[in-house]
Amino acid sequence: MIEQWGVVPLSYLSMFAADDRYSYGYIGSEDFTMYPILPPGSFVQVDERKNKAAEGAWRTEFERPIYFVETREGFVCSWCQVQRDNIVLQPHPLSSVPVRILRHPQEAEIIGQVVGVAMCLGDWRVLGSPLEPTMRAELP
């Protein structure tokens, strides 16, 4: 995490500790569940008062609420839908992460809704592309 984000001044981080309305999470460096909306290595701000999955139709993927969910394996950010005794953890369709269906609340519980994000931009590459970018030939 330090490698990706660098050194963050302690005084900057202390302002978050003073606001007890929110909790904070970190998306693991290998967690592509909500990529490209929430890339791995992002920090998320979570409103724990919003811990029920909202139902409805959304015009865009950006309107659909993303939730911070605790499972037996750890934490995950995803779109959620509760169906009877199950919770469906719906990843972003471009992520190639499979949908997960877990028993609710025994195997998964919504901690809260993601209401803010801090992410690093760049350093991402298309699957199957070479590790080093190549220069395109100049057009005549």
Domain regions of the chain by residue span: 2-118
What pLDDT sits at residue 2?
45
Q: What percent of the chain has pLDDT over 90?
A: 67
pLDDT over 80 at 5, yes or no: no
Place 110 in a pLDDT band, splitting at 50, 70 and 90: very high
Residue 75 amino acid letter: F
Number of C-alpha atoms within 13 angstroms, CB side, residue 56? 10
DSSP letter at 35?
T
- Dump pLDDT digits (tens) for 74-96: 999 999 999 999 999 999 999 99
Q: Phi, psi at residue 27, to the nearest 5°?
A: -85, 125
Q: For residue 130, what are its two tokens?
A: 């070479």
Q: Which CATH architecture has domain 2-118?
A: Ribbon (2.10)
pTM for this model (two decimals): 0.79
- Is residue 16's pLDDT more than 90? no
